[in-house]
């Protein structure tokens, strides 16, 4: 195994044929996270994870999520409060017919970056991590896709030559260009902000009248985010665990 865990994770998913909205998934077998999730691969998705909704009140742009619910849910789930708030806001804002529960976004957030807290990072109240989360250079080496950086994408990761996946939900800059979202109403769209990234991921998963209420529809949506069955299995296990803990 490589001495660089993020690079090892990306190599694994490249071998599995990763493409899609997320740049790579942090495979839980490579990390000793805080959460005792059952990530047995090969789950048979006869149905979607249990639906999970957050209590919210309408607002001009950003839903108002009940603060007591956020605090209690974060404690039961073992997820930082800013992440729970981000996932809840995002799922309340998108089309309810999609059937996206906040626990699915939480499953993705756990697999991609442990909710922005991977590697000893801390998820701050403003939705950003104490240190930026960047995937390895997408330079064509070692089986990686070769994605040259642009002047615009370099602003996100600092590499003038090659792109990197960015932020807690690991958006490739070109994908972020298509789905950039302002999840917290601060007037900015930043993939390093879990509020914005969660809303962008929710919009991506629910586009084209997607239906995530069935096992097939849910698996198809998550697979489109990252084209690897192991990724779908891990997100399913995490989402189901969160739903169980908070029901």
Tens of pLDDT, residue by residue over 40-63, are 444 445 666 666 666 655 555 789
Rounded distance between C-alpha atoms, residue 153 and residue 231, angstroms:
25
Tokens of 85: 């708030």
Percent of the chain with pLDDT over 90: 71
Residue 218 has pLDDT above 50, yes or no: yes
* pLDDT over 70 (residue 23): no
Model confidence band, residue 37 (pLDDT cutoffs 50, 70, 90): very low
The pLDDT assigned to 60 comes to 55
CA distances from residue 43 to 49, 88, 105 in whole angstroms, order as listed: 11, 25, 18
Residue 207 CB burial class (10 angstroms; 0-12, 13-18, ≥19): middle
Task: Provide the pLDDT for residue 192.
Answer: 98
Over 70: is that where the pLDDT of 227 sits?
Answer: yes
Measured distance CA(192)–CA(48) in Å, rounded: 28
Residue 161: predicted pLDDT: 96
Do residues 125 and 82 touch, judged by C-beta distance below 8 A?
Answer: yes
Q: Residue 108 above 90 pLDDT?
A: yes
pLDDT at position 4 is: 35
Task: In whole angstroms, give the CA distance from residue 238 to residue 235.
Answer: 5
Has residue 91 got a pLDDT over 50?
yes
Across the chain, mean pLDDT equals 83
User: What is the reported pLDDT for 70?
Assistant: 97
Q: Which of 22, 204, 211, 220 is nearest to 108 (CA)?
A: 22
Checking 6-10 for CB contacts under 8 A at 24+ apart, the result is 6/135, 6/136, 7/136, 10/135, 10/136, 10/144
pLDDT in the model for residue 55: 63
Kindly tell me if the per-residue pLDDT of 22 is higher than 60: no
Q: How far is CA 163 from CA 27, 114, 182, 199, 200, in A?
A: 21, 22, 22, 22, 19
186-207 residue pLDDT tens:
999 999 999 999 999 999 999 9
pLDDT at residue 18 above 50?
A: no
């Amino acid at each position: 195994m490589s001495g660089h865990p993020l690079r090892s994770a990306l190599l694994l998913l490249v071998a599995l044929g990763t493409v899609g909205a997320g740049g790579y998934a942090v495979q839980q077998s490579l990390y000793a996270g805080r959460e005792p999730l059952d990530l047995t691969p090969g789950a048979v998705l006869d149905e979607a994870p249990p639906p999970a909704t957050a209590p919210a009140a309408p607002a001009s742009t950003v839903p108002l999520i009940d603060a007591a619910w956020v605090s209690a849910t974060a404690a039961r789930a073992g997820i930082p409060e800013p992440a729970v708030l981000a996932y809840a806001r995002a799922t309340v804002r998108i089309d309810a017919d999609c059937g996206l529960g906040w626990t699915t976004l939480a499953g993705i957030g756990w697999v991609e970056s442990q909710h922005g807290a991977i590697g000893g990072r801390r998820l701050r109240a403003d939705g950003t991590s104490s240190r930026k989360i960047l995937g390895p250079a997408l330079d064509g080496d070692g089986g990686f896709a070769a994605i040259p950086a642009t002047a615009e994408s370099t602003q996100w990761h600092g590499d003038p030559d090659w792109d990197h996946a960015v932020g807690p939900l690991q958006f490739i800059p070109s994908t972020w260009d298509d789905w950039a979202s302002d999840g917290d109403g601060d007037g900015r769209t930043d993939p390093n902000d879990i509020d914005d990234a969660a809303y962008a991921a929710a919009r991506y998963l629910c586009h084209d009248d997607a239906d995530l209420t069935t096992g097939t529809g849910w698996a198809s949506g998550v697979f489109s985010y990252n084209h690897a069955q192991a990724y779908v299995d891990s997100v399913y296990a995490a989402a189901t665990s969160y739903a169980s803990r908070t029901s």
